Amino acid sequence: MSNSQRFFYQQVNQTIGEASYLPFLPITLINNNQTLLASGLLDTGATVNVLPYHFGENLGLDWDSQKISINLTGNLANYEAKAVLLKGQINNFPSVKLAFAWTKADNISIILGQVNFFLEFDICFYRSQLFFDVKKN
Q: What is the pLDDT of residues 41-84, one digit of tens each?
A: 999 999 999 999 999 999 999 999 999 999 999 999 999 999 99
Distance between CA 117 and CA 77 in Å, rounded?
21
Q: What is the pLDDT of residue 17?
A: 85
CATH of the domain at 118: 2.40.70.10
Average predicted confidence (pLDDT) for the chain: 95
Q: Is residue 1 predicted with pLDDT exceeding 60?
A: no
Residues 124/1, Cβ–Cβ less than 8 Å: yes
Q: How confident is the model at residue 2 (pLDDT cuts 50, 70, 90)?
A: low
Residues paired with residue 4 on neighbouring β-strands, in sequence order = 135
Q: Is the dihedral of CA 95, 41, 101, 66 positive or negative?
A: negative
Query: Strand 81-89 relative to strand 24-31: parallel, antiparallel, unpaired?
Result: antiparallel
Predicted confidence (pLDDT) per residue in 5-25, tens digit: 999 999 998 888 888 999 999
Supply the range of the domain harboring residue 114: 4-136
Query: Strand 121-126 relative to strand 81-89: parallel, antiparallel, unpaired?
Result: unpaired
Structurally, the chain folds into a number of domains equal to 1
Q: For 33, which DSSP code?
A: T
Beta-carbon contacts of 107 under 8 Å, excluding residues fewer than 6 positions away, are 52
Predicted confidence (pLDDT) per residue in 94-129, tens digit: 999 999 999 999 999 999 999 999 999 999 999 999
Which secondary-structure segment (H or E) carries 135?
Answer: strand 131-136
